[in-house]
Amino acid sequence: MLVEKTNFSIVRMVRLLAVSRSGYYAWLGRSPSERAVRRENIDQKVAWFHSDSDEVYGAPRILADLRADGETISRKTVASTMRRLGLVGISPKRWRTTTVSQAEDAYPVDAVKREWDTGALNQVWVGDITYLRTWEGWLYLATVIDAHSRRVIGWAIADHMRTDLIQDALVMAMALRGERLEQVIFHSDRGTQYASAQITAFAKAHRITRSMGYTGVCWDNAMAESFFATLKTEFYHRRVWPSKNKASREVGAWIEDRDNRRRRHTSLGQVSPVDFELQYANQNADFAKAA
């Protein structure tokens, strides 16, 4: 009625709607109910958190955002709010293998056997390469992920797939971690770069135990594949990339800022990898004090 009162008289509208004039004015002066105020507040927060996630979060992660913001709310309410507001999350599609192997390559045994998380940092690192298309041609991204925290601790982007790409990512990971355990398992697929003499020598020199899954079995390197699926579905494929330089800069920024520090990971209890590692460090400090 408030919208139409400039076009029709109050008398006519109350008659058409079969309500009294006194009832209309009583409604007009009534304050919004607590329920209506809360619903409006939740609507605004859900819309803001969805926008802040680059419009990729679904109900579970927005639920975590709301609870971290002090709201007591159920997942069902968050899901229904998103539907009413027309907001949807984004889920990665199934991946396909891009491994190129050669019969003469020497393959180490699978020391992980899909048991990625051993309960501590710097015990299992996983690595892989993916392709990134730009208008100027292809880029290649190599990553090293700590299996306990899901943090990308090393990465390298170049316009080639030479073995140096993998070595550069490992060098970054070692620089970030500093002191490591006596033996770190580095798990990958059977790509020819990972099976090369260069990486074999590099791993031996730095006390890294190599581990490989089987060719074409995506589950044997599922953690790395899952990261690439998230990168492409939530970020890369939603934009255009005129230049290799722009793609390199923004992919690096997405890894360090969004995925490592801000994106909630379901497997980590809806916290980011960096926050998870801070919790891990605090817990270890508490255990040391107790001992």
Q: For position 31, what pLDDT does the model report? A: 65
Residue scoring higher pLDDT (280 or 111): 280
Rounded CA separation 210/198 (Å): 13
Residue scoring higher pLDDT (90 or 185): 185
Averaged pLDDT of the chain = 81
The order of strands in the sheet holding 137-146 is 152-158, 137-146, 124-134, 184-188, 208-212
Query: Which residues are paired to 209 by β-bridges?
Result: 185
Angle at alpha carbon of residue 166, lines to 162 and 171, rounded to 5°: 130
66-114 per-position pLDDT tens digit:
888 888 888 888 888 888 878 777 766 554 555 454 544 457 777 777 7
Which residue in 44, 83, 46, 80 sits closest to 66, CA to CA? 46
**Token reading at 33:** 């109910």
Rounded CA separation 123/162 (Å): 26
Angle at alpha carbon of residue 144, lines to 138 and 149, rounded to 5°: 130
21-65 per-position pLDDT tens digit:
666 666 666 666 777 777 777 878 888 878 777 777 888 888 888
Length of the chain, in residues: 291
DSSP alpha helix (H) spans, the chain: 10-17, 21-28, 34-52, 59-68, 75-85, 163-177, 197-205, 222-234, 244-253, 273-290
Residue scoring higher pLDDT (222 or 146): 146
Q: Which CATH architecture has domain 124-286?
A: 2-Layer Sandwich (3.30)
Task: Please list, in sequence order, all residues whose beta carbon lies within 8 angstroms of the beta carbon of residue 189, skipping any fewer than 6 positions away.
Answer: 97, 99, 128, 212, 213, 215, 220, 221, 224
Q: How many CB atoms lie within 10 A of CB 56?
A: 18
- Number of helices (H) and strands (E), helices first, in the chain? 10, 5
Q: For position 239, what pLDDT does the model report? A: 92
Rounded CA separation 103/252 (Å): 34
212-270 per-position pLDDT tens digit:
876 555 556 788 888 999 999 999 999 999 999 999 999 999 999 999 999 999 889 99
Q: What is the DSSP letter of 265?
A: B
Q: For position 70, what pLDDT does the model report? A: 83
Torsion of CA 45, 50, 51, 55, to 10 degrees: -170
Residue spans in the chain of domains classed CATH 3.30.420.10:
124-286
